[in-house]
Amino acid sequence: MSVSRLTTLIVSVSIAPYVWADEAATLPRQATKLVSSGDVAQWLLALILVLAVFFLSVWLLRKSGGLAFVGKSQLAVLAGVSLGMREKLVLVKVGEKQLLLGVSGGRIDKLLELEGDQRLFMNSAEGQETSVFAKKLLQVMQGKHHD
C-alpha cells in the first residue's frame, strides 16, 4: 500500500464523523409527536362517554328488574341475638323453611332447620300456634329470661 493511499484512508476515517454529522444536519428532521391538549380532551370525553353508558346500563337493569334477586321475600333475616363479641344466633327464612344459624368470627353453622309446624314467627294469617321453643327463643331475643 502506498503512502498516499494510507494517508487518504487515515484522513477519510478521521473526518468521517464530521461529514456524517453535516449530512445528518442537512436531512429534514421528522417532527416528534407530543401529546397535545386536544388529545387529552378527546381521551377524557371518550372516558366520560364510556362511563355514562356503563352507569346508564346499570340504571336500566335495576329499573327493569334485571339485577333483582329472584323472589326477594324468599330470603329474609327474621331475628338475631348477639351471644358475645363475635358470636350471634340468627334466624333466617329461606322459602318455606327457617334456619337457625350460629355465626362466629370466620364461620357460619346451621344449628337447626325448621319446616311446617316447627317454624318460628309464623304469620297470624296462617292460623297456627307458636311452639314452646319459638316462645322461649323469642323471649331470649327480646331479653326477657322468664323460666
Give a three-class secondary structure readout of 79-125: EEEECCCCCEEEEEEECCEEEEEEEECCEEEEEEEECHHHCCCCCHH
Separation between Cα atoms, residue 76 and residue 96, nearest integer Å? 11
3-state secondary structure at position 34: coil
pLDDT digits (tens, 9 = 90+) for 21-74: 555 556 566 666 788 889 999 999 999 999 999 999 998 888 887 665 554 567
What pTM does this model have?
0.37
Percent of the chain predicted with pLDDT > 90:
15
Q: Where are the domains of the chain?
A: 72-142
How many Cα atoms are found within 13 Å in the side-chain-facing hemisphere of 15? 8
Rounded to the nearest integer, the mean pLDDT of the chain is: 75
